[in-house]
Amino acid sequence: MNKTKFGQFGGQYVPETIMNALHELEAAYRHYQNDPEFLEEYGYYLKQYVGRPSPLYFAEGLTKRLGGAKIYLKREDLNHTGAHKINNVMGQLLLAKRMGKTKVIAETGAGQHGVATATGAALLGMECTVFMGEEDIERQALNVFRMELLGAIVEPVNSGTKTLKDATNEAIRAWIHRVEDTFYVIGSVVGPAPYPEMVRDFQKVIGEEARKQLLEAEGCLPDAIIACVGGGSNAMGIFHAFMADEAVELIGVEGAGKGIETGLHAAAIAEGKVGVLHGMKTFLLQDQQGNITPAYSVSAGLDYPGIGPEHAALHEQQRANYVSVTDDEAIDALNALCLSDGILPALESAHAIAYVMKLAPTMSADQILVVNLSGRGDKDVHTIAAYKKGELQ
């Protein structure tokens, strides 16, 4: 039972009403995480429905352009629904089904996790409600429509900052209310235990595949793994398989928004203090009174004032290194990858590319970087267009 923390981080800081539900989830997860039948079913959907394994693509154009380390992209953008989110959703929904739950709820920021949950729920015949901040509903109208097409109910949240943080509060409140028949599908490595560990486990396939694919392609391990970090699920997913390979540097890239010094950013590790939100102890953007301050990033998926507790622990142990890049740098990187390799990355993933553009030229041609290209950018074209026109505040 003491497996709820990563060092001092994580835990189960939630109201008593949902403690039994968490224990029930934990017990079910412990039972099924090594159950061959469950893993076979999960593996079947990852292969036949999600389209795994995703390729590890040698980005010839970007490598040439930057003139340093060889760059490989783990193509999570090619998954069904366009991002890594579906890996986790399939795992949690199959678990929910085994637990006899017929209704699911989820929170969403940009809408990617909401779309993935609505997709999985449609596939498995479950009733799905997605909580989404009113601000995000406006910014991501297309994803709202997609969720509705998939039969989900999108519940607008108008409290607080009307974004992901508040959608998460509202999803937890709804879970407190409906805990007896409802499964809460959390979209990142955040929330109370066992979610951070469970979500990581449902994403670790990314790193396991990448490790094997790179060994096949190059016969060696990479010098560094790079992934963007909002809550941090795509990063934990690719980091996990390399955790024991101490020579492999793990780099998480936070959203620096308009620049750390402006206060308009989402860099919870760079600027946050240890606190408790959404059931976990971790680094949080907060004021002196402990009130959570709004995160900002051009990428709605990085726009979260906290970070998964395992990342907080990896930061404290200095096993992983956390850096940040600005909106401008991310947009430049997005443009660069479009032109160099014909790949339109999600704005989130463009943050990882932006850091690669700084790092790769400082490295030699026999060194290797693996980047988690966590999602595709189709969902972001309106945002990018507005940004280029200077319409974004």
Partner 1 sequence: MNRIDKTFQALRAEGKKALITYVVAGDPGLKQTVDLVLAKAQAGADIVELGIPFSDPLADGAVIQAAAQRSLNRGTTIDGVFDAVRGIRTQSQVPLVFLVYYNTVLAYGREAFLGECKETGVDGLIIPDLPYEEREEMVALMDESVHLITLVAPTSEQRIEKLVRDAKGFVYCISTLGITGGGAGFFSGLEAFLAKVKSQTETPIAVGFGITKKEQVKPLLPMVDGVIMGSKIVDVIHQSQGDSAELDAFVRSIKIEFE
Closest contact distance (angstroms) between CB of 59 and partner 1 is 40
Closest contact distance (angstroms) between CB of 114 and partner 1 is 20
SS3 for 31? helix
Give me the amino acid identity at 127.
Answer: E
C-beta closer to partner 1: residue 236 or 285 = 285
Q: Cα separations (Å) of 243 from 213, 215, 253? A: 17, 16, 17
Q: CA triplet 80, 85, 88: central angle to 5 degrees?
A: 105
Closest contact distance (angstroms) between CB of 266 and partner 1 is 16
C-alpha 56/C-alpha 205 separation (Å) is: 13
Helix locations, 240-380, DSSP H: 268-271, 309-316, 327-341, 347-359
Tokens standing for residue 268: 């919870």
Task: Confirm if 321 and 252 have CB atoms less than 8 A apart.
Answer: yes
Cβ burial of 371 (10 Å; 0-12, 13-18, 19+) is buried
Among residues 70, 85, 165, 281, the one annotated as catalytic is: 85
C-beta closer to partner 1: residue 77 or 166 = 166
Task: Confirm if 146 and 155 have CB atoms less than 8 A apart.
Answer: no
Give me the amino acid identity at 266.
Answer: A
- Which pairing describes strands 56-58 and 70-75: parallel, antiparallel, or unpaired? antiparallel
Q: Is 85 a catalytic residue?
A: yes
Among residues 26, 76, 107, 310, the one annotated as catalytic is: 107
C-beta closer to partner 1: residue 130 or 368 = 130
**CA neighbor of 107 nearest in space, from 69, 38, 155:** 155
**Half-sphere exposure of residue 60, counting CA atoms within 13 Å on the CB side?**
1
Closest contact distance (angstroms) between CB of 278 and partner 1 is 8
Residues that bind partner 1 (CB under 8 A): 1, 4, 11-21, 159-160, 165-166, 169, 172-173, 176-180, 273-279, 284, 286, 288-292
Helices (H) and strands (E) in the chain, counts: 16, 14
C-alpha 174/C-alpha 190 separation (Å) is: 17
Closest contact distance (angstroms) between CB of 20 and partner 1 is 5
C-beta closer to partner 1: residue 313 or 350 = 313
C-beta closer to partner 1: residue 170 or 209 = 170
C-beta closer to partner 1: residue 37 or 180 = 180
C-beta closer to partner 1: residue 20 or 317 = 20
- Which pairing describes strands 56-58 and 9-13: parallel, antiparallel, or unpaired? unpaired
CA 313 to chain centroid, in Å, comes to 17
**CA neighbor of 160 nearest in space, from 149, 169, 152:** 169
DSSP state of 1: -
Q: Is 165 a catalytic residue?
A: no
Task: Confirm if 271 and 307 have CB atoms less than 8 A apart.
Answer: no
Closest contact distance (angstroms) between CB of 204 and partner 1 is 26
Q: Is 374 a catalytic residue?
A: yes
C-beta closer to partner 1: residue 22 or 198 = 22
Closest contact distance (angstroms) between CB of 375 and partner 1 is 27
**CA neighbor of 352 nearest in space, from 239, 235, 243:** 235
Task: Confirm if 128 and 116 have CB atoms less than 8 A apart.
Answer: no
Closest contact distance (angstroms) between CB of 148 and partner 1 is 25
Catalytically active residues are 85, 107, 374
